[in-house]
Amino acid sequence: MKGVNFSNKNSFKTDLLQFGSAEEAIFRTHVVVSNAEGNMKLTLADMKEAELDWTLLHHDIHLGSNISKQLLRSKQALMWKFVENVQWISQALMVATHLAYKPSIPFPNFRGKD
């Protein structure tokens, strides 16, 4: 299992660190990034050692193999914001492409030469 810890030393520098266990990665972290690889199983109880304003980034909402349902449904998980943003973008594209077409080319004059 590989964990990532973003530790903020000051407001201008962020370190990207890699750990061998979930406990090390979660300790005092602000951001937890997880993927579907590996056999890590994070729960909401595991996040008690993280900072108060921690955030979870996870790319797969369907498998649920690496993250518990309570953790995935928590307000700190940004997966649902991502899905919501994709839905809004899709709706905006559908509206933009299905509006009535108004040609920008002027209509031809069939009366002949003036």
Most confident of 27-36, 47-56, 61-70: 47-56
Confidence of residue 1 (pLDDT cuts 50, 70, 90): very low
Judge whether 55 lies within some domain: yes
Which CATH number goes with the domain that contains 51? 3.40.50.1370
Judge whether 75 lies within some domain: yes
Question: What count of Cα atoms within 13 Å lies in the side-chain half-sphere of residue 31?
Answer: 13
Residue by residue, DSSP assigns the chain as: --EEEEEEEETTEEEEEEESSHHHHHTT-SEEEE-SSSS--B-TGGGGGS-TT-EEEES-SS--SSB-HHHHTSTTB-HHHHHHHHHHHHHHHHHHHHSPP---SPPP--S---
pLDDT tens readout for residues 54-65: 887 776 655 556
Judge whether 106 lies within some domain: no
Q: pLDDT at position 14, please?
A: 65
Judge whether 100 lies within some domain: no
What domain range is 69 assigned to? 3-82
- Number of folded domains that form the chain: 1
Judge whether 93 lies within some domain: no
Confidence of residue 2 (pLDDT cuts 50, 70, 90): very low
Judge whether 87 lies within some domain: no
Judge whether 33 lies within some domain: yes
Judge whether 23 lies within some domain: yes
pLDDT tens readout for residues 87-111: 888 888 888 888 776 667 777 777 7
Confidence of residue 78 (pLDDT cuts 50, 70, 90): confident
